[in-house]
Chains A and B, each alone.
Chain A
Amino acid sequence: MSSGKQRPSILDKSLSRGKSEVSLTAYALLFSEMVQYSHNRVTSVNELHNKLSELGQSVGVRMVELLFVRDRNYKRETKLLNILLFVKGTLWKSLFGKEADKLDRATDDERIYYLIEKEPLVNRFISVPRDKSSINCAAFIAGIIEAVLNSTGFPAKVTALWHKGTTFMIKFDDAVLTRDKQLEGR
């Protein structure tokens, strides 16, 4: 059954970095199916956002490990502003090929930050029907951001809003703010 010269099996070869590009069409069709799948199993807009967010969280958890190993040289981020810049820059670049448009801080509540993206890639081919105009499929990306923040030690809640395109409202827990202030105080 075994021939004389066997080619090295795939388990013997070292891990390749892999192609970092995926066809946009293939991704759009997959995402459309994910939205339809979730849509058929929920009864309200909030539940749909939650389902999409959960799907995003599975992605976020894995992206964190990968990005910190490859791009941050195994070093953790400990400061709030740095992790936000990581999300805006490195995470966005590896997912979408460009940086997020803007990062703002809320004036009234210091736990809230806004990450603004005019045209999220996932929404490019989606036209929301008039009677369901509050659905924003960027809830998937909100899930990714939430998982990234939760696993790096900055517990937060992220929601996607229709504001200036799409705005991700990131609300950190109080513990995060107090810890950050203590770090800065030293």
Chain B
Amino acid sequence: MVVYGQRDGIKVGHTLVSVNGMKVTGQQLDDGRDAMQVLANETNYPINLKFARPKLTTNEKIFQASMFYPLYALACQLSPETRSSGIETIESDNFRMNCFQTLTGVKFMLISDPKQAGIDTLLHRVYEIYSDFALKNPFYSLEMPIRCELFDEHIKSTLEQAERLGISSI
């Protein structure tokens, strides 16, 4: 975990995410080796390291969603205008959280860079993918975490396409 001294785009709070393309969780690489040992061993140089903000664990995601849901309901009721849409974005210096509520009350939350544009199209696309590969899947029960391969594949390819060609290509 980077605690002090950010440079070259590696900010405070970033952790080691991959070594030579292989994913790292905590201190361990995917094939069982210890990350500190691999770094200390000079025969492995030159080595390719990737740093990023650590991914949320499933529990943390559940906390986040359950905190957000009542805040959203409060915002709807407190709004001076009638029929308010609730919280759409929460912006801070480092990130922006976007929320899209569907007609049925399902909320899609996306955490992005504050300067990223076109999140609406992305959220709509995620909604389409959800309704295709999660809702039409007989093995998916509502309200459960989504563990459908086709869903994951399509989300990944949409994000990759957005990265390569810009968000307007979705």
Contact partners of A32 in chain B: CB under 8 A = 136-138
In the assembled complex, the CB of B66 is this many whole angstroms from the nearest CB of chain A, namely: 25
Interface residues on chain A, number (Cβ under 8 Å): 16
Out of B135, B137, B139, name the residue touching A132 (CB < 8 Å): B139
Interface string of B128-157 (1 = CB under 8 A from A): 000011011111000000011111000000
- Which of A65-73, A122-130, A157-165 has 4 or more CB atoms under 8 Å from chain B? A122-130
In terms of DSSP, what is the predominant structure of the interface of chain A?
A: helix
Out of A25, A33, A127, name the residue touching B150 (CB < 8 Å): A127
Residues B147 and A35 in contact, CB atoms below 8 Å apart: no
Contact partners of B138 in chain A: CB under 8 A = 31-33, 35-36, 39, 126, 137
Interface bin, chain B: 10 to 19
In the assembled complex, the CB of B134 is this many whole angstroms from the nearest CB of chain A, namely: 9
In the assembled complex, the CB of B85 is this many whole angstroms from the nearest CB of chain A, namely: 26
Q: Could you tell me the distance between the alpha carbons of A126 and B148 in the complex, rounded to whole angstroms?
A: 8
In terms of DSSP, what is the predominant structure of the interface of chain B?
A: loop
Check A28 for interface membership: any CB of B closer than 8 A: yes
Chain B: CB-nearest residue to A129: B139
Check A29 for interface membership: any CB of B closer than 8 A: yes
Residues A127 and B132 in contact, CB atoms below 8 Å apart: no
Of the A-B pairs whose beta carbons lie under 8 Å apart in the complex, a sample of 21, sorted by A's number, is A28-B136, A29-B135, A29-B136, A31-B138, A32-B136, A35-B138, A39-B138, A125-B133, A125-B150, A126-B137, A126-B138, A126-B150, A127-B137, A127-B139, A127-B148, A127-B149, A127-B151, A128-B139, A129-B139, A132-B139, A137-B138
Which B residues are closer than 8 A to A by beta carbons? 132-133, 135-139, 147-151
A-B pairs with lowest CB-CB distance, top 4: A125-B136, A35-B138, A127-B148, A28-B136
